[in-house]
């Protein structure tokens, strides 16, 4: 059985401002660094075999902080774990989107990554992990919207997770078991 610990990156200044980050490479806020350090200390008391991360700075920084607690734990950067590309809305707040495109902006074609592309890359990642790490405990550091899609593919419709939260799902041949959701106890 493969166990995956899903972690949303630490908080950024843009998270605090309510700005859409998408694929823009925004670093962690000092508060996000501190929370990642606290989560790393908590995880250091548990057995984990590898860390996979998005290459975007906010996720990579979070993963590096966690990996430091384990010494030689492999840190694997995987493009499939990047946040969803949100096109023209990247860098904007909800108020700015409404001012620019109106209250129905979600109905417009704004160069947002197509849902099928998101699902395809998420499924590809999950299939690779299950095939190549059938008995390991894997940490995965990514982004809020992408984590939602991963959870859906594993059969869970879960609320959005908080920054630096931990969700654990155990994959067996016959089922996926949710062991922990949105935990922020450091």
Residues in the chain: 186
Q: Can you give the pLDDT at residue 173?
A: 83
Of the listed ranges 57-61, 73-77, 98-102, 109-113, the least confidently predicted one is 73-77
Give me the mean pLDDT over the 161-170 stretch: 98
Say if residue 58 carries a ligand binding annotation. Answer: yes
Q: Can you give the pLDDT at residue 186?
A: 86
Say if residue 42 carries a ligand binding annotation. Answer: no
pLDDT in tens, 99-114: 999 999 999 999 999 9
Structure-token pair, residue 127: 């299939």
pLDDT in tens, 16-32: 999 999 999 999 999 99
Q: How distant is the alpha carbon of residue 59 from its chain centre?
A: 7
Q: Can you give the pLDDT at residue 50?
A: 95
Beta partners for 111?
A: none
Say if residue 8 carries a ligand binding annotation. Answer: yes
Q: Can you give the pLDDT at residue 172?
A: 86
Catalytic, 115? Answer no
Q: Assign 3 a pLDDT band (cuts: 50, 70, 90).
A: very high
- Statement: the pTM of the whole predicted model exceeds 0.85: yes
Give me the mean pLDDT over the 76-83 stretch: 98
Angle in degrees, CA 114, 119, 123, rounded to 5: 155
Say if residue 182 carries a ligand binding annotation. Answer: no
pLDDT in tens, 116-134: 999 999 999 999 999 999 9
Q: Which of 9, 20, 29, 90 is catalytic?
A: 9
**By C-alpha distance, which of 29, 20, 25, 21 is closest to 96?**
20
Q: Can you give the pLDDT at residue 70?
A: 86
Report helix, strand or coil for 94: helix
**By C-alpha distance, which of 5, 49, 39, 54 is closest to 171?**
5
Give me the mean pLDDT over the 152-173 stretch: 95
Q: Which of 20, 29, 83, 90 is catalytic?
A: 83
Beta partners for 76?
A: 52
Query: Is the CATH number of domain 2-183 3.40.50.720?
Result: no
Q: Is the alpha carbon torsion for 37, 184, 150, 17 positive or negative?
A: negative
List phi, psi (to 5°) of 95: -60, -40
Catalytic, 20? Answer no
Cross-sheet strand order for the sheet of 166-171: 75-77, 50-53, 137-142, 2-8, 166-171, 176-183
Output the CA–CA distances (angstroms, integers) from residue 153 to 88, 90, 110, 161, in the order listed.
27, 25, 25, 16
Sequence ranges of the domains in the chain: 2-183
Residue with tokens 């501190």: 34
What's the rounded Cα separation, in Å, for the pair 37 and 32?
A: 9
């Amino acid at each position: 059985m493969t166990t995956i610990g899903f972690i949303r990156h630490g908080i950024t200044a843009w998270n605090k401002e309510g700005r859409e980050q998408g694929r823009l490479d925004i670093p962690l806020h000092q508060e996000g660094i501190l929370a990642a350090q606290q989560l790393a200390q908590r995880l250091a008391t548990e057995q984990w075999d590898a860390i996979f991360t998005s290459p975007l700075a906010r996720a990579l920084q979070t993963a590096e902080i966690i990996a430091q607690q384990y010494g030689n734990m492999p840190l694997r950067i995987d493009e499939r774990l990047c946040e969803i590309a949100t096109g023209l809305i990247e860098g904007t707040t909800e108020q700015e989107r409404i001012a620019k495109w109106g209250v129905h902006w979600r109905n417009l074609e704004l160069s947002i990554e197509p849902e099928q592309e998101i699902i395809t890359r998420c499924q590809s990642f999950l299939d690779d992990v299950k095939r190549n790490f059938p008995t390991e405990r894997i940490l995965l550091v990514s982004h809020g919207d992408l984590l939602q899609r991963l959870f859906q593919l594993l059969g869970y419709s879960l609320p959005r997770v908080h920054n630096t939260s931990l969700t654990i799902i155990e994959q067996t041949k016959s089922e996926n078991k949710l062991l922990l959701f949105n935990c922020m106890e450091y």
